Structure 1
Amino acid sequence: MKLNCTKVLILLVFCLNVSVLFSQSYWKRVETNSVRKARKEQRRVEPNVFKVFELDLEKFKSVLRKAPSREEDSKKSNAIVQFPNANGELQSFQVLESSIMDPVLANKYPMIKTYKAFGINDPTASMRFSVTQFGIHAMMLSGKQGAVYIDPYTSDLKSYMVYEKEALEGASQDFSCLQDEGVLLESIEVDKSSQRFAANDQKLRTYRLALSCTGEYAALFAGSGSVTVRKANVLSQMVITMNRVNEIYERDLAITMQFVANNDDVIYLDSATDPWMGEYNTKTAETLDDVIGVANYDIGHNFNTSGGGHAGCIGCVCVSTSKYSNHKGMAYTGSSNPVGDAFYIDYVAHEMGHQFGAYHIQSSIECFSGNGESEVEPGSGSSIMGYAGICDPNVQYHSDAHFNYISVKQILNYVKNGLGNECAQESVLVNQAPIANAGGDYTIPASTAFVLTGSATDVDGVETLTYSWYQNDAAPSGKVGKPQSTWDTGPLYRSLLPSDSPKRYLPKIEDVLNGNLTPTWEVTPSVTRDLNFAFLVRDNGSGIGNGIGQTDADLMKVTVNAAAGPFTVTSQNEEGIFWSHGDTEIITWNVAGTTANNINTSRVNILLSTNGGETFDVVLAENTPNDGAQEIVVPDTPALSCRIMVQPVGNIYYAVNSHPFALDYEIVCVQYDSGNLGLAIQDAVTNGQQGVVLSSSLNISDSETIESTVVYTDITHTWVGDLFVELKHPNGEVKATLYNRNCNNGQDDLDVVFNDEGGAITCANPVSGTFSPQTPLNEFSGLGSNGEWKLEISDFSPMDYGTLNSWYIELCTLTDSSLGVDKFAANKFTIFPNPNKGEFTIKLNSLSGNDIKVDVYDVRGRLIYKKSFTNSSDFSQTIGLNNVQSGMYLVTVNDGERSATKKIIVE
């Protein structure tokens, strides 16, 4: 109960600061072209998508001065700050000052500050950021989005770039991990089968870090000035690096590293006089032992520009018995460009992971290594202990900011049961570990998608929890190429960033909806085999205490039986299907041996998605026999994009139909005719050069969203091989070429219907029939129909004459057949203005007393707005749709007793 009170108190602190929070304006969104005059920071790996914000640094720092130290009682913090996310939105965080330097070192370099923050409006979010003479550097981790980074964009430190890790698609840096994974301590060489994952034990383990650097590394950052100034600059870059590394170690492992008091003594500014001559392992250990003192640090490391990394051991933190084998100070990480998260996370966090007892997780034969239980990710791997971007086949360019389950298990085993337990400074946490539940084991049919669903409890609350499902099948030997459905051992499924959902669809539901059960890194097996999975739960610090995370994991197994499957839906698998509510429809599926073969599914549920497959929350039939066919009554839920799912009762596999279809919608086609025109087509003056363009317009007042387009032209002209015919949309940007001098052998006239479904043009004389245009007419699909359409014709040769006699456009749209029944008609239900710019007002009379629910869908059936409002007898509410494209949208209003859907047009 005390912990719950803590959370209430934190919430009260937040509420008391709301007025301060919303008056903050130190971040300002700007366009990149508005900061071109300032010199950009040089980056080797540039994100391809990012947003730029200007920062009032002094105003920002004034808020940070209120932040208490993490060692103090965090409940007293009234420092609430905002950071932009990758979508350009500002998120609120509670902030604690969290130094990663010994107090002596921190007092010597007061310009270097680091902070810990945890999310308020996104409880799954946590972050660490630094404030130094090099500006703000931040890493935000969340279960609702990918890892987000904030770095200086301009060298004047006034503008900052905000981006997700996925945006770093540049070539990998010059790096190779040289660690020999046969080098390990006896203390961690134990029976692997006896090692069950142990939850965190409510302890923060702090290790003293001695981080040295070569003169070459220092030269990149030192600048000019006194020795103290130059060392401060180098130390700042080291702190920026380790602050980000610590964020992951604190979240996943409850481990933090703190610079030793005299760390600046091993910052060497001159490459001519530093101790290193190309060998880094032994020399680093010797240097740290001699300068820092062998008893005065727990983990040692060196930064250089060599382009490689070597931990010197697997599990040697705290070990000081020998400088020449497993020694705590032998590790190094080198790169010619040692900045950015390609360096911090991919390489530094990786090498230190080895020092803490973790092995490589990649399974590619090109870089196969590990200890026989760790090679659990396909290809290069994508978590920290993998080789993302530097080993074919590469899953992605860079590592994601998380440790795989097997890495967490190995590191926790070392720091709790191995020599890593001998030197850590332990402190008791208020935060308690969650309890993970992966569920039971299942047998499923081959070549069939499935979904894993875990659960977790936490006495501190579950709102901060994030979840990861990891396949836990080590490859017995190096795998050649990308995963194949016929592999009966090793990993088929890649690792993913932690999510706020305890479910994982395998493959991703988007791929299944597209009919792909074997996307490159999530391959559904077609053979009999076992798939072992680990369900790892992170509490991300629970938003209390000092924000140090706790974890727990649970295991389960999926057995694939190739005597059954594939389990498939066989109905509603054609285009052009339309359902009407109240009708009876038949759903069919291939049982495929699932009633036997140790699967034993006797009953299934049949579900409907009305948003294209994002959710399946409409039950069409429940607990019906698994016999391959079921009649259902179509519900009264109008939708543009419906999908069917058949799922077993008591199992995890499922199947969906292959094509979306509409419910209570129908295609309505309207023909807009020019009438008789008799417009002359002027000859070209010079052969091969375009003549004067004839432009004929059709003004369409109907404002609908186009589903498909057909165009007819009646042109009298000798030698139509001279003609170019084009249709332009009213927006002036989208156009389609109908005819481009196709028939050039004396053919006359164009009496042609242009339709994307038509065949190739037949050059008869005259040219007549239904043909496909030169460029597809579906370019107009999804656009509005209203405005001035233009048919433009030009001649490319003299001596031939012609006339545009007439033409028409046929526009087909999807229309909600239920819209004619306004269930609020007697209650003065109106939406205005319509058309609008994305902002409109809903008015109605409702006596239900229930909340008014407003949902807005786009033409593909995707929910783009959802909100509930307090009821009043005369309801009036203005709705704003942010950043929506022009087109048709459906607004559904429900007061618990009645509902209605109206169409709006956004211009």
Structure 2
Amino acid sequence: MQKFILTILIFFWANTHAELWKSLDVISNNDNKLIQHPDSFEINATNYHLVKFDIDSFQYQIGVNSDNNVQNINLPLPSGGFETFEIFAVTIMDEKLATKFPDIHTFRGYSINDSTRTLVLDVTKKGLHAVIRTGTQVIWINPINRINSEKHISYYQSDYHKNTDNWQCLAADLQLNSNIAIHSPRVKGALPINELNLKTYRLAVAATAEYTIYHSSPDPANVADAMAAIVTAMNRVNGIYETELGIRMILVANNDQVIFTDPATDGYTNSDGFNMLDENQMIVDNTIGSANYDIGHVFSTGGGGIAGFGVVCNDFRKAEGATGLPNPINDFFYVDYVTHEIAHQLRALHTFNTNVNFCDSSRTGSAAVEPGGGSTLLGYAGICAPDNLQNFSDAYFNSHSLQEITSFTTSGIGANCSNNINTGNQAPIVSAGSDYSIPKLTPFTLCAQATDADSVNFTYNWEQNDLGPAGASTSPSGNAPIFRSFTATTGNCRTFPKLANILNNIQVIGELLPSYARGLNFRATVRDNELTGGAFATDDVQLTVTNDGPFAITSHNSGSFAMGTATSLNWEVANTNQAPINCALVDIYIATDGGQTFVLESGSPYPNNGTASITLPMTLTSGGRIKIMCNDNVFFDVNNANINFVPDLIFTNGFE
């Protein structure tokens, strides 16, 4: 029976900042020559924080405080200063493996000032590695290079520039020979959530000799350095799977035996991912023993990413996973690569819909719910130019991927070998609201409502959930996805497109308003964000876009208007007062801050007949905006530009 240990190793030490960290002013030439820092920090001296980390003090404090139940650690921020996190230790190595490498420690944590700021942290003899997720930004803290475990740098992920080298995940070819997951029909009411257990799988991660050499440099190739690198990678990967799906992978007791140091004898074709699938299956079976692991993977410095589809728990294929990069570090490797490939092993498919360049051959039509190259973990973020939404994958799964993995691990073959630990966590409950018909080329806002009996940190994520013809995001057809996924927030509503784009009258790929009659299916996903065993719930809503539209304000798009007086507002009804939309009444909102805060006008609602006499507020402003929204629907419009609300005296004196 699989043995799982969750060690609550909690510690506190006084004056943590002073003991562990010392801010530094300059980066030496030797530092610049090496790795793990953002390319841009040399030209922007305000976006990083260079510090000296006392690893010996950290290791000592762990030892003397191992029985304590209070824990705090200060971590450096890119903007300068430090932030205090409450942390607890988690075990991602079998007890026997951990005993062999006592200087490796892994943690999770929350900011003591904002529990939505979460932390994944590890400390090895190679230094401290941390990822802080803030909702809108990702902060990395890493050793500045491989040979100095003291100097560390804190910086924003956005300042790190990756070189994709035309990277391509090759798992799609394997999927063609597998039982492809079928896109589920729209479901009104919550889909089955991930079970309220922490599912653990025994993981064997092999390392080619080239990978070991890379992480051992400048020392001779050695198992300890490669093991430390593997733990850093898998701690980051596990941090995602635990929170998103309640899944953790535990490195097996003799994992060190599949870490190799000699390229001539390791048995791997380091630069050929396809070959390494069979090689890894044979090596892991022969060394670890088929009965002693549930999922296998191999790290290399070449060969890209490739994995068998839905192979976890399959004794004949469960080690078919390989990930390799010339620089196998940081989130581009851990998130965009390793997490992505392991998701294939858990039966998740590519979610991007573009067919530009080489991305066409890797598109999977039964899961292509994201426009362009996508942005979530099963997308191709940054490598589908010119149809990229962003450069990095965001570290969360699209709701379609959550559904695929949950089905595989609860009712598919992936349920056959997991060890399930009851967390006591209760899942959230969510309602996405009613279905509507809306006019084309017209913005809209969707809102969900959620409850959770044991969490106050739940977040909302709205995603389009449509499959349609492949194509560039700028020229959709049929029911192709046009709205991208964004990182979940604590706000329960999402406006399509973003309010900033509406106010500036711009459209961007990934947020194009529908220009023809079609269906739009959306899914609201609520996560409770429990770090060691998260749960989620989903609900769907359907919008039917008609050929009428746009619904639009036709007056008050420029000029000055007397504040505190009545003015006639006009708009294009666009048949929205007729079937099937049947919007009889509209509400009118007014903003005086450029459209950031809309206040309901006192006379609302008004008949949806194209004109209304409204009263402007007694507020002097050059940032006046007017919004008109259907009273019992989700669509609206905002006037095209800021207008002036000025004293009535200006008008009476003829100075308008």
Matches within 5 A, 1:805-816: none
Alignment of 1:336 onto 2:318? no
1:44, distance to aligned residue in structure 2 (A): 8.5
2:238 aligned partner: 246
**Amino acid of the structure 2 residue aligned with 1:553:** T
Please give the alpha-carbon distance, in whole angstroms, between the structure 1 residues aligned to 2:608 and 2:186.
41
Partner secondary structure for residue 608 of structure 1: strand
2:523 aligned partner: 534
What per-residue deviation string (whole Å, max 9, x for no partner) do you get for residues 557-600 of structure 1? 111111x21111122211x52543x3223322221111013111
1:204 aligned partner: 198
1:566 aligned partner: 550
1:194, distance to aligned residue in structure 2 (A): 9.2
1:65, distance to aligned residue in structure 2 (A): 5.6
Matches within 5 A, 1:163-562: 163-173=155-165, 175-179=167-171, 180-183=173-176, 192-193=184-185, 197-223=191-217, 230-277=222-269, 278=272, 279-311=275-307, 313-320=308-315, 322=316, 327-366=317-356, 367-368=359-360, 369=362, 372-392=365-385, 393-462=387-456, 464-476=457-469, 478-479=470-471, 481-484=472-475, 487-516=477-506, 518-541=507-530, 547-562=532-547
1:866 aligned partner: none
**Amino acid of the structure 2 residue aligned with 1:659:** A
Matches within 5 A, 1:707-722: none
Report if aligned partners of 1:66, 1:77 keep a CA contact under 8 Å in 2.
no
1:284, distance to aligned residue in structure 2 (A): 0.5
Please give the alpha-carbon distance, in whole angstroms, between the structure 1 residues aligned to 2:428 and 2:615.
43
Alignment of 1:78 onto 2:70? yes
**Amino acid of the structure 2 residue aligned with 1:52:** H
1:150, distance to aligned residue in structure 2 (A): 1.9
Please give the alpha-carbon distance, in whole angstroms, between the structure 2 residues aligned to 1:66 and 1:550.
35
Please give the alpha-carbon distance, in whole angstroms, between the structure 1 residues aligned to 2:119 and 2:622.
40
Output the TM-score relative to the length of structure 1: 0.65
In terms of fraction of residues, the more strand-rich structure is 1
* C-alpha RMSD of matched pairs (Å): 2.9
What per-residue deviation string (whole Å, max 9, x for no partner) do you get for residues 403-458 of structure 1? 11111100000000011111111100122111121111111110101111112100
Identity %: 34
Please give the alpha-carbon distance, in whole angstroms, between the structure 1 residues aligned to 2:336 and 2:466.
23
Please give the alpha-carbon distance, in whole angstroms, between the structure 2 residues aligned to 1:491 and 1:356.
24
Please give the alpha-carbon distance, in whole angstroms, between the structure 1 residues aligned to 2:257 and 2:120.
26
Partner secondary structure for residue 478 of structure 2: coil
1:222, distance to aligned residue in structure 2 (A): 1.8
How has the CA–CA distance of structure 1 residues 442 and 60 changed in structure 2, closer, same or farther, with 3 Å as cutoff? farther
1:181, distance to aligned residue in structure 2 (A): 4.6
Matches within 5 A, 1:490-889: 490-516=480-506, 518-541=507-530, 547-562=532-547, 564-574=548-558, 576-577=559-560, 579-580=562-563, 582-664=564-646
Partner secondary structure for residue 220 of structure 1: helix
Output the TM-score relative to the length of structure 2: 0.88
1:52 aligned partner: 49
In terms of fraction of residues, the more helix-rich structure is 2
Please give the alpha-carbon distance, in whole angstroms, between the structure 1 residues aligned to 2:16 and 2:609.
59
Please give the alpha-carbon distance, in whole angstroms, between the structure 2 residues aligned to 1:620 and 1:55.
59
1:267, distance to aligned residue in structure 2 (A): 0.4
Please give the alpha-carbon distance, in whole angstroms, between the structure 2 residues aligned to 1:163 and 1:644.
40
How has the CA–CA distance of structure 1 residues 344 and 436 changed in structure 2, closer, same or farther, with 3 Å as cutoff? same
Report if aligned partners of 2:37, 2:144 keep a CA contact under 8 Å in 1.
no
1:156, distance to aligned residue in structure 2 (A): 3.4
**Amino acid of the structure 2 residue aligned with 1:266:** V
Q: Which has the larger radius of gyration?
A: 1
Report if aligned partners of 1:181, 1:370 keep a CA contact under 8 Å in 2.
no
Partner secondary structure for residue 215 of structure 2: coil
What per-residue deviation string (whole Å, max 9, x for no partner) do you get for residues 377-409 of structure 1? 112111111112222322222211111111110
**Amino acid of the structure 1 residue aligned with 2:459:** T
How has the CA–CA distance of structure 1 residues 232 and 375 changed in structure 2, closer, same or farther, with 3 Å as cutoff? same
1:166, distance to aligned residue in structure 2 (A): 3.3
| Paired positions, count | 623
1:121, distance to aligned residue in structure 2 (A): 2.0
Please give the alpha-carbon distance, in whole angstroms, between the structure 1 residues aligned to 2:310 and 2:505.
45
Q: Is the deviation greater in 382-391 or in 290-299?
A: 382-391
Alignment of 1:153 onto 2:144? yes
Report if aligned partners of 1:93, 1:117 keep a CA contact under 8 Å in 2.
yes
1:125, distance to aligned residue in structure 2 (A): 2.6
How has the CA–CA distance of structure 1 residues 643 and 160 changed in structure 2, closer, same or farther, with 3 Å as cutoff? farther
1:158, distance to aligned residue in structure 2 (A): 4.1
Report if aligned partners of 1:67, 1:78 keep a CA contact under 8 Å in 2.
no
**Amino acid of the structure 2 residue aligned with 1:389:** G
What per-residue deviation string (whole Å, max 9, x for no partner) do you get for residues 708-755 of structure 1? xxxxxxxxxxxxxxxxxxxxxxxxxxxxxxxxxxxxxxxxxxxxxxxx
Report if aligned partners of 1:85, 1:91 keep a CA contact under 8 Å in 2.
yes
1:168, distance to aligned residue in structure 2 (A): 3.4
Report if aligned partners of 1:125, 1:540 keep a CA contact under 8 Å in 2.
no
Unmatched runs of 5 consecutive residues or more in structure 1: 1-13, 70-75, 669-907
Please give the alpha-carbon distance, in whole angstroms, between the structure 2 residues aligned to 1:436 and 1:600.
27
Please give the alpha-carbon distance, in whole angstroms, between the structure 2 residues aligned to 1:198 and 1:422.
19
Please give the alpha-carbon distance, in whole angstroms, between the structure 2 residues aligned to 1:86 and 1:184.
47
Please give the alpha-carbon distance, in whole angstroms, between the structure 2 residues aligned to 1:587 and 1:60.
66
How has the CA–CA distance of structure 1 residues 224 and 46 changed in structure 2, closer, same or farther, with 3 Å as cutoff? closer
**Amino acid of the structure 2 residue aligned with 1:383:** T
How has the CA–CA distance of structure 1 residues 624 and 666 changed in structure 2, closer, same or farther, with 3 Å as cutoff? closer
Report if aligned partners of 2:24, 2:50 keep a CA contact under 8 Å in 1.
yes
Report if aligned partners of 2:195, 2:410 keep a CA contact under 8 Å in 1.
no
1:202, distance to aligned residue in structure 2 (A): 1.0
Please give the alpha-carbon distance, in whole angstroms, between the structure 2 residues aligned to 1:336 and 1:592.
56
1:63, distance to aligned residue in structure 2 (A): 6.0
Select the structure with the greater relative contact order (CA < 8 A; seq sep ≥ 6).
Answer: 2
Please give the alpha-carbon distance, in whole angstroms, between the structure 1 residues aligned to 2:79 and 2:647.
34
Partner secondary structure for residue 604 of structure 2: strand
Report if aligned partners of 2:430, 2:449 keep a CA contact under 8 Å in 1.
yes
**Amino acid of the structure 2 residue aligned with 1:483:** T
Partner secondary structure for residue 123 of structure 1: coil
Report if aligned partners of 1:174, 1:335 keep a CA contact under 8 Å in 2.
no
What per-residue deviation string (whole Å, max 9, x for no partner) do you get for residues 629-669 of structure 1? 2222332344442211111111111111111134357999x
Please give the alpha-carbon distance, in whole angstroms, between the structure 1 residues aligned to 2:525 and 2:384.
26
